[in-house]
Structure 1
């Protein structure tokens, strides 16, 4: 069994922080020992405490914070750390320095969920031993810099807590949302931050023709973000007020996914995406853009619909096709559920993680 140190400098609680907590829980269940280093006031610290996961406060004030480096070095020594995992620039840089000052250097693994611009080779070739990314698409983007050694970057599919997804999907919807959906159908759901790259505008532009065919159609947008005002204006301009509902940020979102007839991800750019996988885990049909890492999660005409990213006509026709044949959608989703259970379970994730660590 191994001793793991997770480092997270963010004060927030998003997808990466939740993934760390899931990894810690899965590793603990597999018999390993885990420890989280994070800011004392961070939301991940509160969640770790709530889930009875061990954590230690580290300042992480900047990317070269000497008190943080000293604290991490001390944790490595006291807990005999074998493997240290990091994510963002601040925790990665401090961890890398601490490891090189430690009397017994652990293997350094970094998770990378996005890559803006052309990456610097030194951060991949020298900073850490191995960088793990969620999709082959993102790995290819990183290796666009020919100076980066390909063996230093590998794909690790994210971990989904399938039992929790099913358990929480049985919870009741918020009363207002339940009332909105009481006599609606079909119900289309998009669960994503309201940002331009998520493709909400494309779907809204495709919706009027579908609403004429399905007078009780309801599109539920679950999420928050800077695009909300623009999207509300588009809804009003298209006369879709009775067909589009802004649900805000829903935690958990699984009861809404379970209520959907179709879950969509019309992103213009997406390293991987999770809501389509969560929907498939629940046996709900999905339609996604054919861009980024999304085709790695959904196979056209086998586990869902792949639709041309950013093309309004393609999304209008693709959604019409999906809504016209619910039985086919359910058959796709059943195959998709088996795919998710095989590749995104805790056991599959930990097995793949340990294999990557062995290669580092």
Structure 2
């Protein structure tokens, strides 16, 4: 099967890029794979080092003149290559593929993955649902329901949960954990709890909610917490906020690290307290590292965690209800390793890379069947 995968991100790209990279690593021995992505993005750079994958520059500009030229080049490329599947992952690349495919004698099946919880009611979405989508992939039940309530309901919708290779994400042993903590924080007392996130420092990731909850504790309890948040450096406004909460000395920002396992290896608890989230690789990584994981009830996050077993689910942005969770963790630290083992077991069975790849392959086969039974849009 000949597959083209497209993505729009010029920078880091977060979970979208991780998703595509996982597809490339899992499918490179089974499919003839081509990636078309902006050369300034993490996907282009990382995929270029992946053997068995062809990586090409792909631009998806919205300016009319550039758009027309890009679509014309793309149409010629599609006519020449005759792909079986085109897997699009954003709005702009989806639009370009739709326009470039109109009227082609050989039209590839178009698979679209929705990675976020943004609305799907715009005019552009209605066009793409009608003329540029054979199969939809939703990364959670929450996203699947969004698609079912939209014009995309006329296409088959496959819920394919993101997967992670649990063998590559192992809990840190006590010696390694102590080393990682020392690197991030210096010497810490044994009763200090470290909460960590690799989801980034954007406001929507909700890490400031945890900082505020810690600030509301009494002085003794407050002193027993640390936070580490990996990602782009926080904005001056965010730094000003944590300074006003008097927790600036308890939070470390290691930046965009190539390997986040040492960051999570230093932690007692992982957290993803996003205001909007479709699924979250950061959550799966935390769970695979054997950490009880604290999540908000935004989007698809509650599908990841069994409250009280693998971690905790708290109302989005609600500091008042987060404070008791922190007190519980302090009062019963022995429960944390037990919950962490449960979290790892859950991610291994429910969010494995083998399930992810197998379900995606089924969606591809279904898409080819759907496309073969339809007339090309004209």
Q: Same fold (TM over 0.5)?
A: yes
Residues 8 and 205 of structure 1, relative CA distance in 2, 3 Å threshold: closer
Q: Which residue of 1 aligns with 2:362?
A: 355
Give CA-to-partner distance per residue, 1:39-60, whole Å, 9 cap, x none: 4454432222222321223443
Alignment of 1:13-24 (within 5 A): 13-14=12-13, 15-24=15-24
Residues 323, 102 of structure 1: alpha-carbon distance in 2 compared, 3 angstrom cutoff: farther
The runs of at least 4 consecutive aligned structure 1 residues that moved more than 6 Å come to 167-177
Paired residues, number: 356
Q: Using the alignment, how far apart are the partners of 1:99 and 1:174 within structure 2?
A: 54
C-alpha separation in 2, matches of 1:25 and 1:173 = 32
1:159 to 160, 163, 166: 163
For residues 135-169 of structure 1, what are the alpha-carbon distances to aligned partners after superposition, in whole Å with 9 as ceiling and x for unaligned?
A: 12223234444x44265433221232434444999
Offset, 1:284: 1.2
Taking only aligned residues, the RMSD between alpha carbons, in angstroms, comes to: 3.0
Q: What are the residue-to-residue correspondences of 1:120-199 with 2, within 5 Å?
A: 120=122, 121-145=126-150, 147-149=151-153, 151-166=155-170, 178=183, 180-184=185-189, 185-199=192-206
Give how far 1:357 is off.
2.5
CA distance, structure 2, for counterparts of residue 166 and residue 224 of structure 1: 25
Is 1:218 the counterpart of 2:233? The answer is no
Question: Could you say which structure has the greater relative contact order, defined with CA pairs below 8 angstroms and 6 or more residues apart?
Answer: 2
Q: Which residue of 111, 114, 119 corresponds with 2:113?
A: 111
Q: Is the 8 A contact 1:265 1:287 kept in 2?
A: yes
How far is the alpha carbon of 1:353 from its aligned partner?
0.7
* CA separation of 1:94 and 1:287: change in aligned 2, threshold 3 A: same
Post-superposition shift, 1:294?
Answer: 0.9
Find the aligned partners of 1:9 and 1:231 in 2 and give their Cα distance: 28
Say if 1:305 and 1:322, in contact at 8 Å, map to a contact too: no
Deviation at 1:272, TM superposition (A): 1.9
- Paired position in structure 1 for 2:372: none
Q: 2:277 & 2:346 partners in 1: Cα distance?
A: 20
Superposed counterparts of 1:261-276, under 5 Å:
261-276=268-283
* 1:124/1:131 contact within 8 Å kept: no
Aligned to 2:44: 45
- In the other structure, the counterpart of 1:228 is 235
Q: Deviations over 1:247-293 (max 9, x none)?
A: 33333222111210111122233222222210111111111112221
List per-residue Cα deviations over 1:56-90 (Å, max 9, x = no partner): 23443348734433443444454442111112222
- Assess, with a 3 A threshold, how the Cα gap between structure 1 residues 325 and 75 changes in structure 2: closer, same or farther: farther
* 5+ residue gaps, structure 2: 368-378
For residue 34 of structure 1, what is the aligned residue in structure 2?
Answer: 33
In the TM superposition, residue 25 of structure 1 has moved relative to its aligned partner by: 1.5
